[in-house]
Chain A
Amino acid sequence: GEDVEQSLFLSVREGDSSVINCTYTDSSSTYLYWYKQEPGAGLQLLTYIFSNMDMKQDQRLTVLLNKKDKHLSLRIADTQTGDSAIYFCAETGGSYIPTFGRGTSLIVHP
Chain B
Amino acid sequence: DAGVIQSPRHEVTEMGQEVTLRCKPISGHNSLFWYRQTMMRGLELLIYFNNNVPIDDSGMPEDRFSAKMPNASFSTLKIQPSEPRDSAVYFCASGQGQSYEQYFGPGTRLTVT
A interface residue numbers (CB < 8 A to B) = 30-31, 33, 40-45, 48, 88, 92, 96-98, 100-103
A-B interface contact total, Cβ < 8 Å:
45
Interface of B is mostly: strand
Tell me whether A42 and B100 are in contact (CB under 8 A): no
* A97 and B105 within 8 A (CB): no
Closest CB in chain A relative to B54 CB, distance in Å: 13
CB nearest to A100 among chain B residues:
B43
Interface, chain B (partner A; CB < 8 A)? 4, 31, 33, 42-43, 45, 48, 50, 56, 91, 93, 95, 100-107
Q: How far is the CA of A54 from the CA of B49 in the complex (A)?
A: 32
Report the minimum CB–CB distance from B111 to chain A (whole Å): 15
Q: How many Å lie between the Cα of A83 and that of B100 in the bound state? A: 24
Does the CB pair A48–B43 fall under 8 Å?
no
Q: Are B106 and A42 in contact (CB under 8 A)?
A: yes
Taking CB atoms, residues of chain A closer than 8 Å to B56 are 97
With contacts A97-B56, A100-B42 taken as known, whether A44 is within 8 angstroms of B101 at the C-beta atoms is no
